[in-house]
Amino acid sequence: MLTFEPYGNPTYFALLGVALLPLMIGLLYGKRSRLYETLISIFFLVLTFGGSKWTQGVALIIYILYEVGLTWGYAVYRRHKNSGPFFYLMVILAIAPLTIVKVTPAVENGQSSLIGFLGISYLTFRAVQTIMETRDGTLKNYNLMTFLQFMLFFPTISSGPIDRYRRFEKDYRSVPSREQYLGMLQKGIRYIFVGFLYKFVLAYYFGTMLMPKLQLMAMHSRGGFLDLSWPVVGYMYAYSADLFFDFAGYSLFAVGTSYIMGIATPMNFNQPWRSPNIKDFWNRWHITLSFWFRDFIYMRLVFWFMKHKIFKKPTTTANVTYIINMLVMGFWHGVTWYYIAYGLFHGVALMVNDMWLRYKKKHRKSIPHNGFTQVFAIFLTANLVCFSFLIFSGLLNKLWFN
């Protein structure tokens, strides 16, 4: 049997169109058929995790049962009790499979873990936030079937966007009016077509045509200061463009498909290249991931640090938490020096950014703010980001250690 990478080829899109048609007609007439939604979800999950990838399929099933057990168990427990250590234990257990999958290649010479499958990190984010919101008492009506649908929602299973349980549930439990749905349909189809341009034209050009050539040139131009050369600079921009168009393209497919199913999955990108500073960049780049980190790591850690008065100054609290937050993000990408360096780079960048914003606030009158400074800020931010992506790309690792 064939296996398909989600949104990977024309056949996948053709199947998607055929499968979604009855669902679209249903939604236009104000009906949502749970049975049909479940059936096509299973169908597309089998396309992705079946055939030659069946071991991943088995890993997915075991993982889902495990996380359902944890979240359901915790929801039942939380109705009567609320112990801190038990909550921490649950969070640790929920991220344990992902941790194993991320650490295995680093300790087993690049071998991937048997319990891994495409999308495990994105599912872990969903499970952990469900536990955290249950702990806070903001999520009171945990429903096993809704949780399953939320976890296994096929348009976003492989790489996000990372939705939130309560937001998903609201859409899933209701049917949009015909007028609303027509709007969603129009947007969804437009997103998918913009996605085609991003992923199959632009990302193909930068990633498949340009990048390999530039990498070869960069490897041949070694010998200078830190083995850097003009091809390395070219690679940096081509890689950044590929990363953006590939992931933004995928995200448009995932969001577009969700909209067609009457679920308003949040957007992942919002014109990141026009950010005037790094802080703003993280409000525009891989938004659902950075907001997840903001809400479930950064804010919670800051809250904890301040409540227990760990640091004297709020700015110290903010700085320490920036570094921790971005280091965790680095580790999440994988246990390699360049992912961790990438995280550290962004942690420091956020710190410096905050220092500058405070300085600017104090000296508001003496610092010019005009069209030119705005363009300069955008230029500087974009280049800093591209440089961080050069670290992230692993090219430096190849230049220096291969």
Partner 1 sequence: MDIKETVLEILNDLTGNDVSGAMDDNLFDSGLLDSMGSVQLLLQLQSELDVTVPVSEFERSEWDTPNKIIAKVESLA
Position among 19, 24, 93, 302 found at the interface with partner 1 (CB under 8 A): 302
Burial (0-12, 13-18, 19+ Cβ within 10 Å), 312: exposed
Least gap, CB of 84 to partner 1 (angstroms): 14
Contact flags string 347-366 toward partner 1, x per CB under 8 A: ----------x---x-----
Dist CA 203 CA 232 (whole Å) = 19
CB of 236 to partner 1, least distance (A): 29
Quote the tokens at residue 295.
């809400």
Written as one letter, the residue type at 396 is L
> Is 346 one of the catalytic residues?
no
Q: How far is CA 23 from CA 35, 189, 262, 302, in A?
A: 11, 15, 9, 44
The least CB distance from residue 324 to partner 1, in Å, is: 13
Q: Find the binder of partner 1 among 23, 59, 70, 132 (CB under 8 A).
A: 132
Please tell me which residue in 80, 308, 333, 363 is annotated as part of the active site.
333
- The pattern of x and - marking residues 74 through 113 that bind partner 1 according to CB under 8 A reads ----------------------------------------
Q: Which residues contact 353 (CB under 8 A, 6 or more apart)?
A: 277, 278, 279
Cα distances from 212 to residues 48, 111, 238, 395, in angstroms, run 27, 24, 10, 11
**Cβ-based nearer residue to partner 1, 219 or 327:** 327
Only one residue has tokens 């499970």, namely 127
CA separation for the pair 288, 272 (Å, rounded) = 13
Taking contact as CB under 8 A, which single stretch among the options 16-24, 87-95, 105-113, 134-142 is the one that binds partner 1?
134-142
Q: Which of 45, 318, 327, 341 binds partner 1 (CB under 8 A)?
A: 318
- Measured from the CB atom, the residue of 32 and 300 that comes closer to partner 1 is 300
Sole binder of partner 1 in the list 37, 133, 163, 246 (CB under 8 A): 133
Residue 136 lies near partner 1 (rule: CB under 8 A): yes
Residue in 32, 187, 284, 300 binding partner 1, rule: CB under 8 A: 300
Does residue 295 touch partner 1 according to CB under 8 A?
yes
159 contacts 119 by C-beta, under 8 angstroms = yes
Residues of this chain, 253-292, that bind partner 1 according to CB under 8 A: 279
The candidate with the shortest Cα–Cα distance to 286, out of 151, 159, 158, 168, is 159
Span interacting with partner 1, options 34-42, 53-61, 76-84, 311-319, rule CB under 8 A: 311-319
Least distance in angstroms from the C-beta of 314 to partner 1: 6
- Separation CA 360–CA 353 (nearest Å): 10
Residue 280: HSE in the Cβ half-sphere, 13 Å Cα cutoff: 14
- φ, ψ of residue 262 to 5 degrees: the values are 75, 25
**Please, which residue, 52 or 308, has the CB nearer to partner 1?**
308
Is the Cβ of residue 182 or residue 357 nearer to partner 1 in the bound state?
357
Q: Of 133-141, 193-201, 202-210, 263-271, which segment contacts partner 1 by CB under 8 A?
A: 133-141
| DSSP state, residue 113 | P
| DSSP letter (8 states) at residue 72 | H
Work out how close the CB of 205 gets to partner 1 at its nearest, in angstroms, rounded to a whole number: 35
d(CA 345, CA 283): 17
272: cis peptide before it, omega within 30°? no
- Cβ neighbours around 165 below 10 Å, total: 22
| Closer residue to partner 1 in complex, CB, 225/307 | 307
The two tokens of residue 236 are 């940096």
What number of chain residues touch partner 1 (CB under 8 A)? 23
Q: Which residues bind partner 1 (CB under 8 A)?
A: 129, 132-133, 136-139, 279, 294-296, 298-300, 302-303, 306-307, 314, 317-318, 357, 361
Q: State the catalytic residues.
A: 333
